[in-house]
Amino acid sequence: MLIAGNWKMYKGAAETAEFCVELKRALADLEGVDVAVCPPFTSLAVAVQVLAGTDIAVAAQNVHWEPEGAFTGEVSAPMLRELGVYGAIVGHSERRQYFGETDEGVAKRARAALDAGLSVIACVGETEAERDAGDTEDVLRRQVSVLEAEDNLVIAYEPVWAIGTGKTATPEIAQEAHAFIKTLLDVPVLYGGSVKPENAADLVGQPAVDGALVGGASLDVESFAAICLSATRS
């Protein structure tokens, strides 16, 4: 069971340090659940430092497929490894929507990160229009088809219509999508999409759900800790 917090473009270094100190205290007795936080690039180093010696991992929100080169604004897997970062998210729907990332690009990022020794959370999911058109399985099949099963690969199913909208897939919808993804690739699958303390236990309690990728609710220590603790009861 993995609970990962995606902070998106929130929390500079000072706020990250304060959050991580509080999170260490809140999860001091947590057992049976893996936890990761995914701060912005500028806050990774301080998160690694503050969480050193704990079981809370630090992951980046993106990673480039080349180890170095003329790629202005990008960060490579070796750079993340040097910082002490554990893994990276690739293919988040916001990267696909706002920055034109493709399935092929996501596959290249995932491959490079895995080859460099990082763990990867690869995001897949359909838009509301695609779901309404009955295309969910076709979209998931296309997005998953470019990935290869690896010990350090985790998929996050994030229905785009449930991200930042307050809408949440029902536990039954999540179970159905996760079970389908697992017929395509034998890896753990997290649920992402308006996960909150109130619904986390029901979602991660589904047989095919192996944890959660938490967005907005991961920005508050009490909220994120409550989700992590609820996963121990699922």
Query: Pick from 207, 205, 233, 203: which is nearest to 217 by CA?
Result: 203
Both tokens assigned to 72: 């202005």
Spell 42-79 as b/e; 16+ CB within 10 A means b: ebbbbbbebbeeeebbbbbbbbbbeeeeeeeebbbbbb
pLDDT at 168: 73
Both tokens assigned to 29: 């007795």
Is the pLDDT reported for residue 86 higher than 90? yes
Query: Pick from 143, 136, 139, 147: which is nearest to 169 by CA?
Result: 136
Q: How does residue 153 score in pLDDT terms, banded at 50, 70 and 90?
A: very high
Distance CA 216, CA 44 (A): 18
Claim: this prediction has a pTM higher than 0.85? yes
pLDDT at 163: 73
Pairing state between β 189-192 and 87-90:
unpaired
Q: 2-231: which CATH number, 3.30.70.260, 3.20.20.70, 3.30.70.380, 3.90.25.10?
A: 3.20.20.70
Both tokens assigned to 202: 């029901």
Q: How does residue 110 score in pLDDT terms, banded at 50, 70 and 90?
A: very high
pLDDT at 167: 73
- Partner residues linked to 59 by β-bridges: 87
**Mean pLDDT in residue range 83-105:** 96
158 is catalytic: yes
* pLDDT tens profile 7-61: 999 999 999 999 999 999 999 999 999 999 999 999 999 999 999 999 999 999 9
Query: Pick from 73, 148, 145, 87: which is nearest to 116 by CA?
Result: 87
Average pLDDT, the chain: 95
- Partner residues linked to 123 by β-bridges: 156
Among the options 94, 101, 126, 158, which is catalytic?
158
Q: How does residue 103 score in pLDDT terms, banded at 50, 70 and 90?
A: very high
Is the pLDDT reported for residue 161 higher than 90? no
Is the pLDDT reported for residue 234 higher than 70? no
- Partner residues linked to 211 by β-bridges: 2
92 is catalytic: yes
Domain edges within the chain: 2-231
**DSSP class of 196:** -
Among the options 64, 92, 94, 178, which is catalytic?
92
